[in-house]
A and B are shown apart, each in its own frame.
Chain A
Amino acid sequence: MNRINRKQGILIPLVIMLLMLFAAQAQAIIDGVTGTTFHFTAKEGHISTPDGNSILMWGYANGNNVMQYPGPTLIVDQNDVITITLTNELPLGNAVSILFPGQDVAASGGSQGLLTRESNSPADTVTYTFTASHPGTYVYHSGTQPDLQIEMGLVGAIVVRPAGYTDLNRTAYGSSSTAYDYEYLFLLTDMDPIIHELVEFGQQDEVDNAKRAPVIWMINGRAAPDTLAPAYTPLLPHQPYNCLPRMNPGGKLLMRIVSAGRDLHPFHHHGNNSTVIAKDGRLLSTNGVDPDLATSEFTIQAIPEETVDAIFEWTGEKLGWDMYGTGVGYEHDCVDGNGDDFDDVTHEYCPDHGKPLPVVLPEKQDLGFGGWWGGSPYMGSAEALPPGEGGLNINGGYFFMWHSHTEKELTNFDIFPGGMMTMMVVEPPHIIIP
């Protein structure tokens, strides 16, 4: 079927359409380290939290770099043999190790601990080897005194690319039914700073595991609003990873959720349901190829140790009004060449083309503004705002809060807003991501 809803004029300039041709050449989105051989050093360092605190952490450093939280995200290819060596620069008396749930690990060196082999000193190296036999999202963390060391920050994520993966052919598990355009990591953790203070003050023995009460909640090692700051910002030298998911209408965004803390978190993504295609790096599937056992959810139950892969889509379908605007100055076409009801370029939902916004916006003096309100309800548009308002939505995108729905986890040590929260931005089609 070939359906064209033609109104007047062309809104999307030719230049922008040309730019869009290059959008497919984007680089990998999740920040991390690639290869097959890695060296970690467990060491101390301080992270910053938005309440102004500086908290002692133990983390895995990449090689001899500074401690980072979370540890390096390993991005590896399916069937590669992965080797990770670990040396221990934690305070004397603390052994350290790494567990790789879902991997068949051979460990050597160091000494045998309760759950795996451990490094006991800077001179004591443990080697972990496994074959990344299954694609997917995985977690790693300390297997030594995990009640303390996971709290202290010895956690990280692994992404295993399926065989045949390329940046131009992105799939989570190899089959086209797991294809995506953008991917983001959501490594969720929770923290009780009192435990960190006791460790810093040499009172490690006084840590009472049963009385732990987290007051800081994080995504990728940062609490909001730091989740939105750039990756690798020099302001946060020990917290290299941010979490600012962005997409264009009609795209597929792969959420790689890694629950690395101690508590359950209901991770709620506004905007649309997502399709949960895999857990623990295993496709939800009867045939091993297609996620035919996938579920549609609007809140991901993030269970400590579990990983969840979910594909999120947003199109504006059935908003009931034209998201690119109506009336003078908003003239545009909806050209549905392939019969999927959407414009082939702007991904506008053609059945709603030309339908006006069904409410009359209040006068500006009657509105409260947030930084993300650009003055216009229309995708890609902006209008004048009073002095000092707006400014965080330069492209005229739609912002959706993605957050833990345990609402107290939207605070930084009792101060709202913050915590396990970020914004997902649907950017207009001409904005190239990333």
Chain B
Amino acid sequence: MGVNIRSENTSKGDVTDFDGKFSFSLPEGNYKLEISCLGFETKYLDINLNQSINLNIELKENTQELGEIVITQDVRQSKLEQAQMSVNSLQAKDLESIPVVLGEKDFLKSLILLPGVSNTGEGAGGFNVRGGAADQNLVLLDGATLYNDSHLFGFFSVLQPDAIQSLTLYKGGIPSKFGNRVSSILNIEQKEGNFKTLQTEGSLGLVSSKILINGPIKKDKTSFLIGGRSSYAHLFLKLADNPNSAYFYDINAQLTHIFNTRHQLSISSYFGRDVFNINNSFKNIFGNSVISLNLLSTWSDAFKGNLRTFFSDYVYDLNLDVIGFNYKNGITEFGLGYDLTHRLNENISLEYGLQSNYYRFNPGFLEASRPDAGFNTTDLVNKYAWQNAIYLSSKQKIGKKLTLEYGARLNTFHRLGQDQVALYANSNPLLFNEDFGIYEEAPIEAYQKQKRNEIVKSFFHLEPRFSASYRLSETKSVKVSYQRINQHLHLISNNDAPTPLDIWAPSGRYLKPQKSDQWAVGYVKLWDNYSLETELFYKQVKNRVDYIDGANLIINDQIERVILPGEARSYGWELLFKKTKGKWQGWVAYTLSKSEQRTPGRTPTETGVNNGKWYNTGWDKTHDLSLVANYNHNERWKFNASFVYQTGRPTTYPTGKYEYLGLLVPNYDTRNANRLPDFHHLDFSATLTPKKNRDRAFKSSWVFSIYNIYGRKNAANISFRENEDSGRNEAVQLSIFGIVPAIAYQFKF
């Protein structure tokens, strides 16, 4: 009946056959099985494995039949034996136990409490992994690329948290199955609907409300899940006759159908939009639409396949009637692939497959919104690309102590013909004016017309991947890994945090792919109730795009005339200490790291960016500490707290000022040589589950939360201006959140 068997710490899964049978091999040792069923209480089972055993798991009457089994392999085994390192995963229940601003569960805000993960601050979208830029993360929703991860410019993550089954973040040692982004892969799995009973859950919060319904369409055969969420603060504005509004909504849907013991189909989709309207003069809508289809086939016990296809679309739409134009840009991706897992014997198993992606880039379209606006219709040339990859990865056990995971990914990226390509003298789109010390756009010599179906530029890359784990003892192991990844898509953004209107550009004639190498070593130590993981990493990225001063990135058909290739590097030490059992649970995550980049001139006379010197990236945080604590007081009360401390983000303070055209002009020197004040806040939440819930189907709970208890005013930025009244020059700090209390009501039936 298609029961999923999951090993929590590896996120590897298995599917039982129709009779509910499952089998898999584990080394000798003690295990704890966690058997949980969507919507039911969790059951634990301790087993001692010293020979092959048959387990017959029966769940009690009140839990009816099994909907899903989650087996949490004892941390002791998997963490120690797996060659895979640099991985963090969060389950639905983890998201629940982390207090966040405005009392809304949020996967991105939870993610940044893990070691090696941060973002540029409150109210900023995206996340940074091991010093990498936000566009270097691949976010996959059931296998489909998600291009924008935030609502309201970063206040909320795009996905309704209740619809998420698990999140797995690969920060390093990335398996060869994944590629295309140089810093990380975030794999998000949506929940599957219940095959037995209809369930409804939802919550009412201060900012948004959500509802999630799931259940069988045909018992034991087909299940569905559908969830919706919307913010509603704008409704109050409407009541107050305020013509402005800012809101978002999203819809998650999932359908699973079990054909027979061998084949299972799941369709997963997401649709989300942000909507802004300021006095009908500024209207802005943007968001993702994603659909993916996975056909899981169990060809034999040792041979399983997954046919995967997806469609992903991101669109940004702006109507600015004040100025008089409509503007649009976006990206569309279509993917198809087949992934196979193949167990050769007890010691070797293989994963291999092929993937093919087609991209269409719309870098911008602008037209007049009314006849008197005077804008010419400007349709930037669409770009097209086709990407193929084959991969092979092998997991091998050598003796009792050594586990290897090695493989390679062969990537090809083809730029397809576009209607018009600009040509420059000496193929150089960017000139350097030595007299003025500035970069200038090269004049276009001619335009070339290309055919859509013609390959105009190709890149071939072989990406080796390797990781190994060696067990020092029953409770300790050391790990090493190396990976190479190429990234052919570049987010054209000169900001520290991604914005919704940033444009993706493919590698091609003038833009080389980003190429990264990462090395990491790690150490894992386990106790009965605690675990410790620590890693050192070094990562370098070539062909990191940087921008000339004054670069115009919007409605620019020739991005190549404002960019320069640079390089980036980051290194650091991560530590994650967890308490995994008992009334008190939680973790301490600490990262000590450095992230910097440089863009030297292409010739000795060119200045490059920042005079070609290394400078801190906008998300370089020397110290990044997160403490998360959960306390289960009793069945009624649960308490959660988290504390975050980070070194202030790099910024550039003026080294002086002058007056020009009667305006105050701050004078700047070295880029990102200063830092904003340190960033920290303490948050707290309490969940009350009333007693009367116990014996009835309708369950509800209240979540009380306070974000930033001691009201720390964290600087989002510091700007420099002349005071309009006093005429004095002043530094002005912008803080997004003060102390934010919130309350939410959750229900389930």
The yes or no verdict on A and B being binding partners is: no
A residues lining the B interface (CB < 8 Å): none
